[in-house]
Structure 1
């Protein structure tokens, strides 16, 4: 692995790829999608500012938790153009989806904690289903695993809380 000098203000697509762990093809895709930007040399080669490493890491981390690229692009558009974003800029961006991330965390915790229990899907196949969802009462809410969604106390839920 070629180590990128900490003094380098600009990176080639290969250096950015190597340092970020993201294939060059994905970096070019991100650029076409407006997620990252590059300058061009006289020979028309891409050059990325060093702060693009943080943007790429942010994109990848956001994708890993299921945030769509369009949402990521909208949030990245809030960062300043023409200068390296500051800590305050990134803090402002992080506020954009704090509520969404907290909701995702709650949903994952419910999945983790309730998957071996009745989830309110209507299958009535687990021994606790008859108590947690008597006569498939949660089916009146429509399709889905109602006990994994945002909790709403109902008659059926009250049995297992």
Structure 2
């Protein structure tokens, strides 16, 4: 006889345990991320492996992955998985660099004594990559 821990869970039970609406699990099944077994009445029955897949999906979404990227993560084709994961790592690196820059700018703004932070030369220097198309000393009214 199976213990209670080994019995399959319903969609509602899994949804509750992961604090998700049940329709999210159904959607993930529709897009191919989950494939729970069905009982004789056609009800979804989730096992431990299904719960692991839900946990992988949740962690991957928290890391900024799309459902399409997660599908590649969970597929058996290693070449496709590696390509998608490398692209995601590259995106994470870009976003982390942007977050570090944002943190540095925010910390400077917190300590800066300028009344209008946009007038602070050091703060403006942090924006130079965004202002490359707008050279110093050129005012919009001067071009008219």
Band the TM-score falls in, shorter-chain normalisation: 0.5 to 0.7
* SS of match in other structure, 2:76: coil
CA distance in 2, matches of 1:140, 1:106: 19
Q: Which has the higher helix share?
A: 2
**Counterpart in 2 of 1:113?**
104
Gaps of 5+ in 1: 80-91, 119-124, 143-161
Q: Which residue of 2 aligns with 1:25?
A: 23
SS in 2 for 1:36: coil
Q: Moved runs in structure 1, 4+ residues, more than 6 A?
A: none
TM-score by length of 2: 0.61
Q: TM-score, normalised by structure 1?
A: 0.56
Aligned length in residues? 119
- More displaced stretch, 105-114 vs 69-78: 105-114
Query: 1:104: Cα distance to partner?
Result: 3.1
Q: Name which one, 1 or 2, has greater alpha-carbon Rg.
A: 2
Find out whether 1:78 has 2:76 as its counterpart. yes
Structure 2: unaligned runs, 5 residues or longer:
110-115, 135-144
Cα separation, 1, equivalents of 2:90 and 2:119 = 32
> In structure 2, what is the equivalent of residue 48 of structure 1?
46
